[in-house]
Amino acid sequence: MSNKRVWFVTGAGRGLGIEIAQKALAAGHFVVATGRHPDAVSKAVGAHENLLAVALDITDAEAAAKAAEAAVRRFGRIDVLVNNAGNFYAGYFENIRPDHFRAQMETNFFGPLNVTRAILPIMRAQRSGQIITVTSLAGLIGQEFVVAYAASKFALEGWMESLRFDVAPFGIRTMAVEPGFFRTELLVEGASTIWPDMVVEDYAERTKRTIAAWSGMNGQQGGDPAKLAAAIVSLSDSGKLPLRFIAGPDAMAAEEANLKTIQEQIDAHRDLSVSLMFDKGQ
């Protein structure tokens, strides 16, 4: 792969998206940085001759197609797609309005599908490319108060794990990035986080306590988004993307414990599971 490639980064107006765009530029790449407000994106990332800021609402398939066209007009190709944009509808299942649950899926799941669908024909024509999608530890392990968010991220994980088979014959590689707790704007109310607005009395006290705990965590997360962005750029530049990159010691520890639990569950019911097959001769 060429040392100087064209990156297309969604959600580049804040948090991890800014860091990814800046690190890719610092590595000598061209960057198409997208967000709802391109002027704000340009200001956040910083002026650079290799930067193109483009308006994009990832839930709008037509807007995704136009953004991809703008990228090709400016740089001639797209080599690395980073599906980073997303948000967080928090709450217990019965506290989340049905339209909010659907909105969570539209942004976190169908949004990346819209963008990838717009860019894949470009990569297939090139017979090369990388699709990097930021999911979450919540896409591997269910957690309290994140039922909608986890559903959207689990969906992304399944899509990415299967997409690799579709695109590998065209020289396109995929990687899911699964961060633990990083100091981004994900927990900033009004920016990326939407607290539940339905009141079910049985959940009221737990909801109050959990919102206070999550709010107090904002700005205290241990993960450094600048280091995560640098790691993503380094993995991309290596040309050898892992299927998944579990990011942060908290994420690794949680997933290692989860894998141990899964193995214990397999072993505990191994005989029962084996017994479910037809008897020989049937």
Strand partners, 32: 8, 52
Residue 185: pLDDT band (50, 70, 90) is low
Residue 184 pLDDT: 63
Q: Which two tokens stand for residue 220?
A: 């205290």
Side-chain-facing half-sphere of 227: CA atoms under 13 Å: 9
Measured CA distances, 280 to 271, 275, 277 (Å): 16, 11, 9
Residue-wise pLDDT for 235-251, tens only, equals 999 989 999 999 989 99
| pTM for the full predicted model | 0.93
Cβ atoms of 194 and 209 within 8 Å: the answer is no
Please give the full DSSP string across 1-54, using - where no structure is assigned.
--SS-EEEESSTTSHHHHHHHHHHHHTT-EEEEEES-HHHHHHHH---TTEEEE
125 or 138, which is more confident: 125
Most confident segment among 42-46, 183-187, 195-199 = 42-46
CA distance 159 to 157: 5
Residue-wise pLDDT for 9-25, tens only, equals 999 998 899 999 999 99
The total of other beta-carbon atoms located within 10 Å of residue 179's CB is 24
Amino acid identity, position 35: G
Please give the full DSSP string across the chain, using - where no structure is assigned.
--SS-EEEESSTTSHHHHHHHHHHHHTT-EEEEEES-HHHHHHHH---TTEEEEE--TT-HHHHHHHHHHHHHHHS---EEEE----EE-B-GGGS-HHHHHHHHIIIIIHHHHHHHHHHHHHHHHT-EEEEEE--GGGTS--TTBHHHHHHHHHHHHHHHHHHHHHGGGTEEEEEEEE-SBSSSTT-BTTTEE------HHHHHHHHHHHHHHHHHTTT-SB-HHHHHHHHHHHHHHT---SEEEESHHHHHHHHHHHHHHHHHHHHTHHHHHTTSPPTT-
- Ranking 80-94, 97-111, 135-149, 179-193 by mean pLDDT, the lowest is 179-193
Report the pLDDT averaged over residues 34-40: 95
1 pLDDT higher than 50: no
61 pLDDT higher than 90: yes
- Ranking 7-16, 48-57, 218-227 by mean pLDDT, the lowest is 218-227
- Ranking 15-24, 96-105, 132-141, 189-198 by mean pLDDT, the lowest is 189-198
- Rounded to the nearest 10°, the torsion over CA 44, 50, 55, 58 is -90
Cβ atoms of 81 and 113 within 8 Å: the answer is no
Residues catalogued as catalytic: 149
In the chain, the domains with their CATH numbers are 6-251 (3.40.50.720)
Report the pLDDT averaged over residues 36-59: 96
CA distance 55 to 115: 13
Residue 219: pLDDT band (50, 70, 90) is low
